[in-house]
Structure 1
Amino acid sequence: MAKQKRAVRVASWWAARVRRCRAVADAGMSTAEYAVGTIAACGFAAVLYKIVTSGPVRTAMTSVIEKALHAPF
């Protein structure tokens, strides 16, 4: 009977240890994932910069700012 209790304790300890190790292994991104994420963010920033600095958007933003500055209080 004592052997069975010990075996159950060891098995549950081992299962808990395996769960903790798996959780730590999947806790964050790897270096390759950071690199891909950084490149994607830079690409998105470049596209957004091009859109914001385009003529129609610049004109619209200037119009909104001028209206806000010249609005009566």
Structure 2
Amino acid sequence: MRHRCKAATSAEYAIGTIAAAAFGAVLYTVVTGDSIVSALTNIIDKALKTPVK
């Protein structure tokens, strides 16, 4: 019985690791997309050009 618990736990960690890797890949694709990069660039440019009062 104890051996089954270890195997189940290992399988759960493996599934969690795969899910985290897939989420990271999707997030990387979204963040490095052209629209996101240009939007962030515009925000940074606007912030740097804003006069300080």
- Scaled by the length of structure 1, the TM-score of the pair is 0.57
Structure ID, larger Rg: 1
Q: Count the aligned residue pairs.
A: 46
Matches within 5 A, 1:1-73: 30-73=9-52
**CA RMSD in angstroms, aligned pairs only:** 1.6
Segments of 5+ residues of structure 1 without an aligned counterpart are: 1-24
Q: CA deviation at 1:71?
A: 1.2
Whole-angstrom distance in 2 between the partners of 1:35 and 1:68: 43
Percentage of matched positions with identical amino acids? 50
